[in-house]
Structure 1
Amino acid sequence: MPLSEQEQRLLEEMERNLYRNDADFVHAVGGVRGRRPNYRSIVLGILLAVAGIAALIAGVALQNLVVGIVGFALMFGGVLIAITPSKRGPMSAAPGEPTTAKRTARSGGGFMDRMNDRWDRRQEGRE
């Protein structure tokens, strides 16, 4: 059973509002993404974890509790260092490339805003 004109308009309005609200949500939550991984801390963490595993195995082989505990602590600390996100800001642009704020200001909005505008223009053309 097809929808009436009023129901279709209401549905289209609800869709537009949903896309606008989703774009706002994506924009609000999207600040977490875009961080560049700190490769130095990842490598250091992996090296510490490997050294910790070796010390843990050595502690078990030598039946020395202190060496085993130190190995476990090294291993645990290395994993924490490797998986902890960097405290640097969002990714910086390459030299000569505009930053995200400049791109957004120049293009008149973010990606989702442009997509919403395109969607709205398509929907207005069908009516």
Structure 2
Amino acid sequence: MPLSEHEQRMLDQIEQALYAEDPKFANTVRQTNPAVHYKRWIVKASIGFVIGISLLMGGAIFQQVVVGVIGFIVMLACLLWGLSAWRRVAGGSGGEPAPAQQAARPRQRRQQRPGMMHRFEERWRRRQEGENS
């Protein structure tokens, strides 16, 4: 939903005030891409995952159960961390859109094809009508 002229003017005034007050911060905020931040998370999670595998294998080789369990926990934590960052880079938040986003979007109903159960019921009904006639 586009902003009204009044809202756009207010936003421009706020932006100009921010530039006047702290131009370095304003430039940093304007140029920062959140996807870069999440890509760094993915790299760190990948490194942690490899470290977790190493700990797990080291625990198995040297028959140290505690080291193996710690390696598995590190692996699992890094996997979940990396997957959450991957979802955010891909554009999905992993959940429902915010209520403001839901309100801004008109509800769209997609045309659904009849499901398998509907087809079975329809065939059954035709068979029953055919036998009764």
TM-score (norm 2): 0.37
Higher-helix-fraction structure: 2
